[in-house]
């Protein structure tokens, strides 16, 4: 047994996985061997889910059946909608509301009694969770805006239906395609913190609702999924200040602050997902004539590159661009991380099932640094 301490488990191999691979040195991401760029540009989120959950890309007929089955599971029980309404009224954050609602969905799971070893049942449960998360999120946002939730439309795609439930209007093609692409880009990413959380929970043979609920909790932190919102907040802060973006970034660094959306535990070069979203941001900015966020992000990236940060391996990650893209789609800032969860749920479910197929309880050790042989004194004598 090695006594070498690996803080943050950096670089430690804990499982084998055929799902996704991140090559952080050259900035490459593949899902089951397919380059993320090909998938983002050529496949729908439903196709990507099928690929992750079933091991191969679907035929047209397989995809139609899969997408229909997914769409058929979108409705959530009224009790869950009531709970979502209560949380929205109480001012809960959408990420916390999603965590609570996902956990609550298990009370309405028709196969709740299935054994965790029954991976076919787990897959069906995972499908229900994935289908219902957008409904929960959109309802939360509608209630918060003083509007009635919009019922899901099974004729629309996963991406299109979410935007429809959020706004009450069917999205245009560009918005639907862009959002679908964002979902594909976020669907899986090796053993990141939230996916690892899911498989740790799954390794106890806990049910998939617990695994996804845990994943949402892990994703909510600012070092992980929360960074996309931080980037947007940064852009607003720059806008509200009397500084230009470069001066703002300079002052932040001089004060010892980090620039959100920069740096990644695995990527040492620019994140391939960031490159694709940057292109989307450029298209959306140019077609709308509103290039403010594009100008700010470009200026900050150029400045940090000139400062040698990128050369040191602190390069733009996916979050550096996703927020501005969502802003162009009219999505509120605090929904960015929940949207990330909505997509990544597919990856959490795929990894949990893959791990449970050849399960081994995950149980690492900590090096004990506390006292030895402390003498116990009963409470009344202390």
Binding residues for ligand ACO (CB under 6 A): 223-225, 227, 258-265, 314, 317-319
Q: Token pair 């609920």 is at which residue?
A: 213
Q: What is the C-alpha separation between 299 and 104, in angstroms, rounded?
A: 44
The alpha carbon of 108 is separated from its chain's Cα centroid by a whole number of angstroms, namely 24
Query: Please, which residue, 225 or 338, has the CB nearer to ligand ACO?
Result: 225
Eight-state DSSP code of residue 106: G
Q: E-strand spans in 200-318?
A: none
Q: What is the C-alpha separation between 192 and 180, in angstroms, rounded?
A: 22
Catalytic (active site) residue 21: no
The active-site residue, picked from 319, 327, 328, 351, is 319
The distance of closest approach from Cβ of residue 223 to ligand ACO in the complex, given in angstroms and rounded to an integer, is 4
Q: What is the C-alpha separation between 248 and 215, in angstroms, rounded?
A: 33
Q: What is the C-alpha separation between 138 and 336, in angstroms, rounded?
A: 12
Q: Which residues pair with 262 in a beta bridge?
A: 316
Query: Please, which residue, 171 or 261, has the CB nearer to ligand ACO?
Result: 261
Q: What is the C-alpha separation between 80 and 97, in angstroms, rounded?
A: 11
The active-site residue, picked from 158, 186, 189, 224, is 224
Eight-state DSSP code of residue 334: G
The active-site residue, picked from 264, 271, 327, 328, is 264
DSSP state letters, 108-136: G-TTTTS-TT-HHHHHHHHHHHHHHHHHH
Answer whether 261's CB lies under 8 Å from 315's CB.
Answer: no
Query: Please, which residue, 255 or 361, has the CB nearer to ligand ACO?
Result: 255
Q: Which residues contact 223 (CB under 8 A, 6 or more apart)?
A: 193
The distance of closest approach from Cβ of residue 381 to ligand ACO in the complex, given in angstroms and rounded to an integer, is 46
The distance of closest approach from Cβ of residue 267 to ligand ACO in the complex, given in angstroms and rounded to an integer, is 8
What angle, rounded to 10 degrees, do the helices at 319-328 and 272-288 form? Answer: 30
Q: Which residues pair with 180 in a beta bridge?
A: none
The distance of closest approach from Cβ of residue 126 to ligand ACO in the complex, given in angstroms and rounded to an integer, is 21
Query: Please, which residue, 136 or 314, has the CB nearer to ligand ACO?
Result: 314
Query: Please, which residue, 314 or 335, has the CB nearer to ligand ACO?
Result: 314
Query: Please, which residue, 126 or 225, has the CB nearer to ligand ACO?
Result: 225
Burial (CB count within 10 angstroms: exposed 0-12, middle 13-18, buried 19+), residue 333: middle
The distance of closest approach from Cβ of residue 173 to ligand ACO in the complex, given in angstroms and rounded to an integer, is 27
The distance of closest approach from Cβ of residue 18 to ligand ACO in the complex, given in angstroms and rounded to an integer, is 22
Catalytic (active site) residue 264: yes
- Which residue intervals of 25-59 are DSSP H helices? 36-42, 45-54
- Reduced to 3 states (helix: H, G, I; strand: E, B; else coil), residue 54 is helix
Catalytic (active site) residue 118: no
Residue nearest to ligand ACO (CB): 263
The distance of closest approach from Cβ of residue 192 to ligand ACO in the complex, given in angstroms and rounded to an integer, is 6
Q: What is the C-alpha separation between 184 and 45, in angstroms, rounded?
A: 5
The residues annotated as belonging to the active site are 224, 264, 319
């Amino acid at each position: 047994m090695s006594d070498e301490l690996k803080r943050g488990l950096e670089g430690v191999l804990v499982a084998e996985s055929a799902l996704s691979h991140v090559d952080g040195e050259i900035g490459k991401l593949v899902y089951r061997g397919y380059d993320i760029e090909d998938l983002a540009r050529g496949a729908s989120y439903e196709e990507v889910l099928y690929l992750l959950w079933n091991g191969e890309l679907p035929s047209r007929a397989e995809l139609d059946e899969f997408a229909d089955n997914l769409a058929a599971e979108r409705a959530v029980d009224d009790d869950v909608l009531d709970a979502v309404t209560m949380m929205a009224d109480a001012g809960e954050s959408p990420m916390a509301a999603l965590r609570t609602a996902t956990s609550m969905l298990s009370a309405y799971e028709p196969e709740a009694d299935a054994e965790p070893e029954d991976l076919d049942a787990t897959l069906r449960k995972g499908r229900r969770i994935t289908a219902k998360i957008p409904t929960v999120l959109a309802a939360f946002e509608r209630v918060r805006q003083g509007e009635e939730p919009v019922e899901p439309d099974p004729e629309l795609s996963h991406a299109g239906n979410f935007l429809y439930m959020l706004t009450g209007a069917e999205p245009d093609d560009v918005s639907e395609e862009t959002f679908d692409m964002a979902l594909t880009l976020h669907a899986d990413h090796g053993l990141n913190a939230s996916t690892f959380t899911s498989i740790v929970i799954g390794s106890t043979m806990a049910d998939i609702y617990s695994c996804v609920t845990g994943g949402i909790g892990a994703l909510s932190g600012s070092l992980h999924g929360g960074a996309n919102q931080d980037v947007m907040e940064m852009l607003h802060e720059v806008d509200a200040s009397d500084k230009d973006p470069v001066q703002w970034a300079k002052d932040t660094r001089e004060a010892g602050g980090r620039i959100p959306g920069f740096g990644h535990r695995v990527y040492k070069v620019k994140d391939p997902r960031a490159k694709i979203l940057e292109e989307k941001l450029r298209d959306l900015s140019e077609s709308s004539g509103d290039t403010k966020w594009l100008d700010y992000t470009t200026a900050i990236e150029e400045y940090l590159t000139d400062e040698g940060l990128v050369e040191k391996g602190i390069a733009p990650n996916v979050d550096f661009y996703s927020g501005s893209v969502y802003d162009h789609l009219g999505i509120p800032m605090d929904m960015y991380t929940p949207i990330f969860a909505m997509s990544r749920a597919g990856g959490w479910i795929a990894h949990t099932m893959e791990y449970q197929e050849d399960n081994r309880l995950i149980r690492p050790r900590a090096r004990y640094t506390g006292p030895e042989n402390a003498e116990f004194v009963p409470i009344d004598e202390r």
